[in-house]
């Protein structure tokens, strides 16, 4: 069975119309989730918690898309 991991993270943006974080060191890592549904629930909780701050945004990153299961080694594995 293929595992489809998702990362939920967010923080304060320089400008609400762009996806540029004000301070990368302050990015809030909510967690890594085994499926989109649980990642979405976590994203929604954080987004609602910070709804009063227009500069704060949360995102879902599809970690499973970073790895090519058909390749002998992914491009990130070759860096090590």
Extended strands (E) in the chain:
6-12, 28-33, 56-62
pLDDT confidence of 71, banded at 50, 70, 90?
low
d(CA 6, CA 41): 12
Per the domain annotation, does 22 fall within a domain?
Answer: yes
The whole domain housing 33 covers: 6-70
36 found inside a domain = yes
Q: What is the pLDDT of residue 75?
A: 56
Q: Is the pLDDT of residue 2 over 80?
A: no
**Total structural domains within the chain:** 1
Specify if 76 maps to a domain: no
CATH code of the domain containing 37:
3.30.70.2400
Residue 34 lies in a domain: yes
The side-by-side arrangement of strands in the sheet containing 28-33 is: 28-33, 6-12, 56-62
Q: What is the pLDDT of residues 17-38, one digit of tens each?
A: 999 999 999 999 999 999 999 9
Residue 79 lies in a domain: no
40 lies in a domain? Answer: yes
Gap between the Cα atoms of 78 and 34, Å rounded? 25
Given a contact cutoff of 8 angstroms between Cβ atoms, the answer to whether 51 and 44 are in contact is no
Domain annotation covers residue 11: yes
Q: Is pLDDT above 70 for 69?
A: no
């Amino acid at each position: 069975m293929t595992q489809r991991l998702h990362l939920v993270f967010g923080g304060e943006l320089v400008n609400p119309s762009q996806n540029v974080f004000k301070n990368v060191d302050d990015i809030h890592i909510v967690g890594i989730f085994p499926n989109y549904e649980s990642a979405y629930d976590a994203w929604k909780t954080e987004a609602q918690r910070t709804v009063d701050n227009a500069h704060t945004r949360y995102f879902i990153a599809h970690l499973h898309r970073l790895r090519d299961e058909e390749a002998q080694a992914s491009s990130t594995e070759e860096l090590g």
